[in-house]
Chain A
Amino acid sequence: MSGSLKLIALIEKHADPIAHAWAKDVRRNSRTASYHDMPEGKLVPLAIRFYDNFRKMFYAEKPAEVSREFFARYAEEQYEANVPLHEAIYALILMRRHIWLYAEFQVIFITAVEQKQAVDSLVRTILMFDYAITFMSRRYQELIRGELNDRLAVLNMIRLESPLGTRLSPYRTAIMSVLLIGSFLLTYYYHAVMGSNVIFTHLFYIPVVLAGIWWKRKGILLAVVLGVFLILSHSVFLRGIPLTDDFVRAVMFIVIGAVVAFLSEGITMAEEIYRLKAM
């Protein structure tokens, strides 16, 4: 443990120059591009705080617990600064390397006994960094998932899906029933009462699109039902007027319904893949 003590003493005493050396390195290293434009004045305190915490983490009885808190916070800060995970991790690796570069420079492990101490010290430091990498990558994934959930919030509202994935099917059925009855009544009113096929069918796209989003391929069936109903109603109430326009409209319902259904399927699939990967 004395080797570790020596290393800790070195870090605590020389935190500032080590942090400066790290900041210079990270600002020009090709693997840490996000740090290149960050001012040294902003980077140095980041490293100093890490080096100040080093002893606490190094000697903790349960290093995993202490590391978890520190590196989760560190990950949050880097995430907010738009640093990609691999760069944040590499910057951390450079923090560790700079300890060793400085230690070598200070020639604190020279004799055979000291070399043995160096091994203990290395192993302990690496253990801490192993936890750091794990906790950072885990926290990044949680943050990504949270951000994507926020981005998907509006879409989920339209899809009538709760963030926890509970599908609000009863509401969908009720809304769709109202829209369908409204569409039937509207068709009857225009065809039977007004004797006209003016363009009121644009409103049918609301149930067609919602059905595609909610029920995906099965939702195409609703577009078919609306199309068939439109043609039947025309055949019964508007015999003197050519069917062409309403036929084209009915086909368009199915086309739009199918496009929305396939898009909705694609979004759901991508979302599922993401949720699996970000778990």
Chain B
Amino acid sequence: MYMGMKLIDLVETHAEPIARQWARNVRKNPFTPYYHSMPEKDLVPQAVVFYENFRRLFMEPKPVEASQGYFTRYAEESYRKGVPLHEALYALILMRRQIWLYAEFQVLFLTAVEQNLAVESITRTILMFDYAVYFISKRYRELMKLEWFEAPNT
């Protein structure tokens, strides 16, 4: 878990600059056109909240329950704003990538031992995002059903 801690510390202490990088990325990425017209100042807090929650989600002994609550809310907010599902998911994927880009930039995983531990850290992060994608797409479906009574296979 040591490397996980190192990553969490990095994310927490650098939440703001990572969030800014993410906002810049998402505002020009061709997979997230919805975000292009959103001002950076509206986007940054969204990512900061996520990065600040990262420790709790990462360390949670029951990651499923923790992810469910957080990412269901993320889905509801995105849905209310009118973000298409695939863009909401990709924006989240970019949040994860931004951590890694920043971690690489900070040469966090330099030595052979650290590389070894990095595998564990990546696996744990990916597990969290697997649940995230599942819960977000599930919640979008439920919300679409509420509006459409019974939308086609969503």
Contact = CB atoms under 8 A, between A and B. Distances in A.
Interface in B81-100: 82, 84-86, 89-90, 93, 97, 100
A126 B119 contact: no
A118 to B, nearest CB: 5
Contacts of B130: 90, 93, 97
A86 B122 contact: no
Interface string A110-153: 00110110110011001000100111011011011001100100
Nearest to A116: B115
Contacts of B82: 276-277
Contact of B122 (A89, A97, A119, A274): A119
A93 B112 contact: no
A273 interface: yes
B134 to A, nearest CB: 5
A270 interface: yes
A134 B89 contact: yes
Interface stretch (A38-46, A77-85, A179-187, A230-238): A77-85
B115 A115 contact: yes
A85 B112 contact: no
A163 B112 CA distance: 59
Q: How large is the interface on B (under 10, 10 to 19, 20 to 34, 35 or more residues)?
A: 35 or more
Interface string A67-101: 00000000000010011111001100100010010
A136 to B, nearest CB: 8
B26 to A, nearest CB: 13
A133 B154 contact: no
A276 B81 CA distance: 10
Contacts of B31: 134
Given A84-B153, A122-B119, A277 B79 contact: yes
Contacts of A82: 153
Interface stretch (B11-19, B41-49, B143-151): B143-151
A130 B93 contact: yes
B113 interface: yes
B141 interface: yes
Interface in A222-279: 270, 273-274, 276-279
A119 B118 contact: yes
Nearest to B94: A130
B113 to A, nearest CB: 7
Contacts of B90: 130, 133-134
Contacts of A274: 144, 147-148, 151
A273 B147 contact: yes
Interface of B: 31, 79, 82, 84-86, 89-90, 93, 97, 100, 109, 112-113, 115-116, 118-119, 122-123, 126, 130, 133-135, 137-138, 140-141, 144, 147-148, 151-154
Interface of A: 31, 79, 82-86, 89-90, 93, 97, 100, 109, 112-113, 115-116, 118-119, 122-123, 126, 130, 133-135, 137-138, 140-141, 143-144, 147-148, 151, 270, 273-274, 276-279
